Amino acid sequence: MQRFDAIVIGAGAAGLFCAGVAAQRGLSVLLIDHAEKLAEKIRISGGGRCNFTNRELDPSTPQRHFIGQNPHFCRSALARYTPADFIDLVRRHGIAHHEKHKGQLFCDRSAEDIIAMLVAECSGGASGGSVVRWQPCAVKAVRHGDAGYEVDTDNGLAQAPQLVVATGALSIPKIGATDFGFRLARQFGLRLVEPRPGLVPLTFDGTAWAPFAGLAGLALPVEVSTGSGKAKTAFLEDLLFTHRGLSGPAILQISSYWKEGTPLAVDLAPGVKLADALLHAKQTASRKKIANELTAWMPSRLADAWSAGDAVLERPLADIPDKSLNALAQRIGRWELNPNGSEGYRKAEVTVGGVDTRDLSSQTMEARQQAGLFFIGEVVDVTGWLGGYNFQWAWASGFACGQALQSADTGL
C-alpha cells in the first residue's frame, strides 16, 4: 500500500493542473490515468493548437459563457484563477501564442507546449511536493474508510485522505472518455444532472435533409437561435453544411442549449433588411434572376437552393410579385429547422450536465456530504461556450481544489 496526501484520478486538463498546484504547495500527489497517452484531449484541441483560454471571460457574469443548472456556481473559482493568470503562466513558460476570433487564445506552435508546461508544473519545485504518475493504469475500485480513500488499481493499492475526481465526462470515448466520474459520484451519494452531448453537430431526418445534402462543405455567417422571449439564446457565427446536417461554430454553440424536439431558427442573412433589398433590386435589376441577386448575401449554391424548383421564384426578378419576395425574405431570415438529434458523444466536444453543483462547495469543489472527495473539470455540471472557456474552467476548478487540498502531515 502506498500513501499520498492526495490521489487525483484523470490526468487530463483539470487533473494535471490540480496535481501541479498541490505539488507546489508541498503535497505528495498520485495522478492516475487509464489512457496510453497523456492529456490526449489537450493534444487534439483547437485543431492541434489548443485554444487554452478566452480573454472575453468575465467571472462576474459567468452565465454569459457557461451553462449548468446553477451558472453562478463557477463564479468564485473563475474569479480566483482568471484567463490573465493562465496567460501569465503560459508566458513564464515561453510559449508563443496569439489571439484569434472573439478573445480566443491559441498556441503558435502546438498544443504539446501546453501539455509540456503542465507536466513541468508537476515537478513540485522547491516546495518538496511531488507528483507520481501511474499511466496507463486502470482503477478497479474506490473505497472509503477510517484511513481515508483506498484506490485499488492495476499498479496495486494506494491510499490518501483526499481523492480528486478529474476523469472528464463522456465526449469522445475512443480517446478514453468514460462515465467513471459519474459512477463514483453516485457511489458516494452525490446527485447528477442528466448528461447530454454539447458543442456537437446536429443531424436531420434523411428525407427532410435531402434538398440540402448537396450543400455539404458550404459555410457562411448566420445568426442561429433557440427558444423565444427571455429564454432566447442566439449566436452570430459561421454555419457549415454537412452530409447529415449542420455544424460549424454557430451550430456547435447552439447545440449546448438546444433541447430535443424543439426547433432552431437560422437567419441566413443576418443584419440585412432582405425584403427591402429585394424590392429595391426588383426596380433596378429587373431582368436578373433572384438567385443572382441573393449572391450578394450568401454563397451561390445556397442562393440557387432557395429558388430551385419554385416556378415563381425562377422568373426574372421584375416578374416576381412583391408578396413572394417578402415571403422569401422571411424564410431566409427565419429558416426554421427541426433537428432529429446530434452526432452524439462520438463527435461532441463536451458533455453538458454532470455532478450536481448543489452537492459541491463552489470554493473548493469538495463534496458537501463526503469530506475529502473533490470533483473538478468537465465531470461537474459546468459547461463553457466554444472558444477556450472549457479549458479555463478546467484550470480554475483545478486551482480551487489544488489550493484546498491539505498535507496529511502538516494540515497545510
Query: In the structure grid, which three cell numbers stand for residue 104, read together?
Result: 480566443
Separation of alpha carbons 386 and 99, rounded Å: 15
Min dist CB 349 to ligand FDA, Å, is: 4
Q: Which of residues 160-199 bind ligand FDA (CB under 6 A)?
A: 166-168, 171-172, 176, 178, 180
**Shorter beta-carbon distance to ligand FDA: residue 35 or 320:** 35
Contact between 200 and 245 under an 8 Å Cβ cutoff? The reply is: no
11 binds ligand FDA (CB under 6 A): yes
Nearer to ligand FDA, 46 or 245 (CB): 46
Question: Which of 24, 28, 51, 247: binder of ligand FDA (CB under 6 A)?
Answer: 51
Count of positions (residues) in the chain: 412
Q: Least distance to ligand FDA from the beta carbon of 156, Å?
A: 15
Which of left, alpha, beta for 53 (phi over 0: left; psi -120 to 50: alpha)? beta
Q: Which helix (H) or strand (E) holds 91?
A: helix 83-92
Contact 222, 241 (CB under 8 A): no
Among 160, 377, 404, 405, binds ligand FDA (CB under 6 A): 377
Based on the shown chain and the rule CB under 6 A, indicate whether residue 360 belongs to the binding site for ligand FDA: no
Q: Is 9 in the site for ligand FDA (CB under 6 A)?
A: yes
Taking CB atoms, the residue at the shortest distance from ligand FDA is: 12
Please select the residue that binds ligand FDA; options are 5, 7, 8, 12, rule is CB under 6 A: 12
3-state helix, strand, coil in the chain (%, to 5): 35, 25, 40
| Residue span binding ligand FDA (CB under 6 A) among the ranges 85-93, 309-317, 382-390, 402-410 | 382-390
Cβ proximity of 364 and 305 under 8 Å:
no
Interface size with ligand FDA, residues (CB under 6 A)? 35
Among positions 30-49, residues that touch ligand FDA (CB under 6 A) are 32-35, 41, 44-46
- Beta carbons within 8 Å of 318's beta carbon, 6+ residues apart: 282, 286, 287
Q: Which of residues 272-311 bind ligand FDA (CB under 6 A)?
A: none
Q: Which stretch binds ligand FDA (CB under 6 A): 28-36, 55-63, 90-98, 119-127?
A: 28-36
Q: Which residue, 10 or 124, has its beta carbon nearer to ligand FDA? A: 10
Among positions 6, 7, 14, 264, the unique one binding ligand FDA when judged by CB under 6 A? 14
The one among 6, 8, 10, 274 contacting ligand FDA by CB under 6 A: 10
Phi, psi (rounded to 5 degrees) for 162: -135, 140
Say if residues 83 and 55 touch (Cβ distance below 8 Å). yes
Secondary structure letter of residue 385 according to DSSP: P
Alpha-carbon gap, residue 259 to 273, rounded angstroms:
29
Q: Within 13 A of 115's CA, how many CA atoms are on the CB side? A: 18
What is d(CA 288, CA 322) in angstroms, rounded to the nearest whole number? 15
Torsion, CA 269, CA 231, CA 387, CA 334, rounded to 10: -10
Could you say whether residue 350 binds ligand FDA (CB under 6 A)? yes
Residue 113 touching ligand FDA (CB under 6 A): no
Ranges within 237-256 binding ligand FDA (CB under 6 A): none
Interface residue list for ligand FDA (CB under 6 A): 9-15, 32-35, 41, 44-46, 50-51, 139, 166-168, 171-172, 176, 178, 180, 349-350, 377-378, 388-391, 394
